[in-house]
Amino acid sequence: MHHRPLDGVRVLDLTNVLAGPYCTYQLMLLGAEVIKIEMPGRGDLARRLGPDVDLNRAGLGASFLAQNAGKKSVELDLKDDRDRASLEELASNADVLVENYRAGVLARIGFPWERLRELNPGLIYCAISGFGQTGPMSQAPAYDQVIQGLSGMMSITGTTETAPLRVGFPVADTVGGLTAALAITAALAGRGRDGEGRFLDVSMLEASLSAMGWAVSNYLVSGIEPQPMGDQNVTAAPSGTFDAADGPLNIAANRQEQYESLCRLVERPELITDPRFADREARKQHRVELNRLLNEALRRRPAQEWERMLSAAGVPAARILTVAQAVATDQVAARGFLSDLPFPPGTPRDVVERSPEGRLRVSGNGVLVDGEQLSPRTPPPVLGEHNAELPDLLRRWRSGRQSEIVR
């Protein structure tokens, strides 16, 4: 790919763990130059997070490796005057600064938005936090699971017997990071019109509530409080997980024509005209009985066979895969979603040896630009890998103009 959408954009990354690094990883994939500022000798906490103890000890935890390819790492102690001066100069010439400290921390160490704006009127400053910079909870600590619980997400995950349950991946962190990346790219576009920087205050709680869709909107609009329904979809029936001969199968026959096709394919055409199931609302009211009848028919064939038959007829249906199976599908391979990179220096030998072809595999972001996948160009950095380049970085950032998006 000759040019990426954010080529030339300079991002100062003062983030840790997941929501912030995930945001800046998206910006890097889109072409931005990302300088990751890390505490000397310690770095991002994610360097020590992951299932592989040896990687954690090496400061290359799986969580870090997954979100930081393509970035540069510079160690700065923000309590040290010389390092603070370096940060000030970087911020003076950056397009974007992203941090995910607790609300107000960067201001308390001498870099409030007012000062940063004075140093750099075109700066896009994005602060990601659990609850935002204002409000009675702004100073409360927050991790993904805390946000999942406070958003109501856990209350509707599982069944009436098992809820509340945590969603099986850090969805609140991820949604917060995506929301921040969207806001930053929008602010850069706006700056192209007026030349003005922006202060972006991203709340993971609010971003999560926004992402919950009908679970929140049904209550806000109709006063109907959502309940946990396990693997069933409250908005339609039959829509959920069903029993094939060899395991579970997801089917979402949400439209009338899809339901009728499903009934014919499972050789139960009488269910189309049965008054209990004749229309959408009737099917929702008699969901349990309809599911029982469909499961009886679906158990005659394996899940993959049903997947082929139903999909060919326009009925959304697919097997339920493990993560290992999902990343190995032909569809993921065809899109080039996964990239293989060299492991960073210092990676334990046994980790390299047990990896496919001795390479580190990382994900893209699901976007093709002009038909090409957005992939990192370099592996995740070791802590302070680019310390020696700081004088050159400062000179280059000082001498070059901000991104052409500015004007």
- The CA–CA distances, whole Å, from 190 to 26, 121, 122, 194, 340 equal 19, 14, 11, 7, 35
Residue 204 DSSP one-character state? H
What SS3 class is residue 46?
Answer: helix
374/212 Cα distance (integer angstroms) = 27
- From the list 44, 95, 173, 201, the catalytic residue is 173
Block residue for tokens 């199968």: 249
Q: At what angle do helices 390-399 and 81-93 cross, to 10 degrees?
A: 40
Give dist(CA 9, CA 120) in Å, integer: 14
Cβ atoms within 10 Å, residue 330: 7
Is there a catalytic annotation at residue 173? yes
- DSSP letter for 270, please: H
Radius of gyration of the chain (CA): 25
Contacts 24+ apart (CB under 8 A), 187-190: 187/124, 187/126, 188/6, 188/9, 188/95, 188/96, 188/124, 188/403, 188/405, 189/405
Q: Tokens 């064939």 map to which residue?
A: 301
Supply the DSSP string of 213-243, one letter for each residue.
THHHHHHHHH-------TTB-TTSSSEEEEE
User: 3-state DSSP call for residue 240?
Assistant: strand
Q: How far apart are CA 99 and CA 161, in angstroms?
A: 40
List phi, psi (to 5°) of 128: -105, 125
CA 373 to chain centre: 17
Active-site amino acid positions? 173
